[in-house]
Amino acid sequence: MQTATPPGQSFAKRWAIYAAFGAATLDLKTWRLSTKGLVEKPVTLSFTELERLHQVKLTRDFHCVTTWSIKDVVWEGVSFRELANLTSVKKEAAWVMFHCADGYTAPVPLEDAMVEDSLIALKMNGKPIPTQQGFPVRPFIPHLYGWKSAKWLTDLEFLPQYEDGYWEMYGYHERGNVWDQERFKGQGGKHVRHKGLGSIPV
């Protein structure tokens, strides 16, 4: 469990629910998660096939860019690393774009998506993810703000360089690291050179 509170955040008792295009209602029987872009072996998985993969369970806080956080959420799902290995991501890939059933998109640096506790989550707090929270699956990367953990996930697209997603078009940060308060483009600490993007604040 975590004890530290990221700068600028405060813990709330209830979730605030956001949906850029309204909540998507998906049929579990027909829903699929696919990989595309810079991969050697594109894969398409049903929910049942995802359940058959090794499941990881961890407790991590959730942080929204609007400064509220939810403490000690129990997440269960498939390691992002496992899916990346399953689809054989090419070495040229530097970003992953999360595509969702409602048209929402969110880009994440591949190095952030590949951290040990990054998941494609199938459960929250021991139960299937609620529809309003992104049923049937959503990515969850604990050190990034929640807008990167895209709801109603359908596709993982591996890219050679950065592309804006939905909120990034409106000025939200390319990466969105919670601990560095990367809320908007141009905010953050020192600069590093991300492959395909050039110098961005991190």
CB-based contact 161:94 (threshold 8 Å)? yes
Contact yes or no for 2/148 (Cβ under 8 A): no
Q: Yes or no: is domain 27-183 CATH 3.30.70.270?
A: no
Greatest Cα-to-Cα distance within the chain, rounded to the nearest angstrom: 46
- Residue-wise pLDDT tens for the chain (202 aa)? 445 889 999 999 888 877 677 778 899 999 999 999 999 999 999 999 999 999 999 999 999 999 999 999 999 999 999 999 999 999 999 999 999 999 999 999 999 999 999 999 999 999 999 999 999 999 999 999 999 999 999 999 999 999 999 999 999 999 999 999 999 998 764 333 333 333 322 2
The pTM (predicted TM-score) of the whole model is: 0.88
CA 77 from chain centre, in angstroms, equals: 13
pLDDT of 187? 73
Place of tokens 């048209």: 103
The pLDDT of residue 200 is 29
Up-side HSE of residue 129: CA atoms within 13 Å toward CB? 29
